[in-house]
């Protein structure tokens, strides 16, 4: 995929897309997308499409389709699922993350695996879903919603070296 942005490709977490549907965070969503799009080529996981459309009220379908279709989608491939399984296993066995693993959804693990497979940065409002040291903070942005509540947005990069070290311990391939 040709890339003209300075810092590469950013995978948008579903929570960033969700902000576009809430009246108090619509402005934040547009600010976040404008800020992120100025430095990254922005993409979504096909899993985000599922999360956005699931249970959506009929009147919101046109907005959802327009939003989702404005980003290049990345498929949940066999490689992504293989890395997701390994990542979930490492989260459960690693002393650093095993206590918080239960709070991380399978969808976020799939998104994290997508970032690992494609070497994408993840843009999220929930830092805990992409735990350190598996993901390192590149930058953060503080936005405020319509009620003046601060919302932190994080750009996180996959720590490939750490995952590779942990795979040897948590998820040996049998070689």
Indicate the number of domains in the chain.
1
- Residue 104 domain-assigned (yes or no): yes
Q: Per residue in 84-137, pLDDT tens?
A: 999 999 999 999 999 998 899 999 999 999 999 999 999 999 999 999 999 999
Q: Per residue in 36-70, pLDDT tens?
A: 888 899 999 999 999 999 988 899 889 889 989 99
- Residue 17 domain-assigned (yes or no): yes
- Residue 3 domain-assigned (yes or no): no
- Residue 54 domain-assigned (yes or no): yes
State the pTM of this model: 0.89
- Residue 1 domain-assigned (yes or no): no
Q: How far apart are CA 63 and CA 69, in angstroms?
A: 10
| The 3-state secondary structure of 23-62, one letter per residue | CCCHHHHHHHHHHHHHHCEEEEEHHHHHHHHCCCCHHHHH
| CATH number of the domain enclosing 154 | 3.40.50.1010
- 141 backbone φψ class: left, alpha, beta (φ>0; ψ -120 to 50): beta
Domain that holds residue 76: 9-170
């Amino acid at each position: 995929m040709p890339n003209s942005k300075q810092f590469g490709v950013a995978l948008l977490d579903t929570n960033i897309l969700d902000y576009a549907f809430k009246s108090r965070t619509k402005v934040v969503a547009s600010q976040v997308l404008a800020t992120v799009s100025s430095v990254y080529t922005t993409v979504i996981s096909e899993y985000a499409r599922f999360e956005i459309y699931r249970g959506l009220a009929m009147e919101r379908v046109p907005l959802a389709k327009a939003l989702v279709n404005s980003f290049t989608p990345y498929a949940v491939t066999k490689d992504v699922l293989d890395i997701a399984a390994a990542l979930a296993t490492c989260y459960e066995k690693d002393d650093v993350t095993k206590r918080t693993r239960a709070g991380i959804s399978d969808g976020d693990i799939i998104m994290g695996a997508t970032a690992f497979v494609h070497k994408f940065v993840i843009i999220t409002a929930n830092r805990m879903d992409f735990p350190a040291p598996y993901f390192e903070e590149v930058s953060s942005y503080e936005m405020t919603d319509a009620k003046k509540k601060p919302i932190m947005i994080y750009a996180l990069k996959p720590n490939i070296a750490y995952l590779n070290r942990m795979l040897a311990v948590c998820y040996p391939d049998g070689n």
